[in-house]
Amino acid sequence: MGFSYKPLWLLLVNKGITKTEFREELGIGTNQLAKMGKGEYISMETLDKICTHFGVQPNDVIEHVNKKTTEA
C-alpha cells in the first residue's frame, strides 16, 4: 500500500458525513469507494472531485505510507 485515506475518513467523521452520503454527494461509484476502503489507488479525477468538494489539498485526504516502514 502506497497511500492511506485515513485523513479522508477523519474528515468525513468530523463533518458528520457517512461514506454513502459522501459517495452520493460526489457522484462517484461504489467501486471507487471500495478501492479507497482497501487503500488502493484511485484516479486523479476522483481525487480532484474530493479536493474540490471539500475545498482542501490532496494531503488533507491522503497520506503516503512508506512500505519499508510498515513492513519492519
- Compute the distance between CA of residue 17 and CA of residue 2 in angstroms, rounded to an integer: 25
**Digit-coded pLDDT (tens) for 53-68:** 999 999 999 999 887 7
Supply angle C-alpha 29, 36, 12, rounded to 5.
Answer: 90
Say yes or no to pLDDT of 1 above 60. no
In the chain, the domains with their CATH numbers are: 3-71 (1.10.260.40)
Say yes or no to pLDDT of 11 above 60. yes
**Digit-coded pLDDT (tens) for 20-58:** 999 999 999 999 999 999 999 999 999 999 999 999 999
pLDDT at site 18:
96
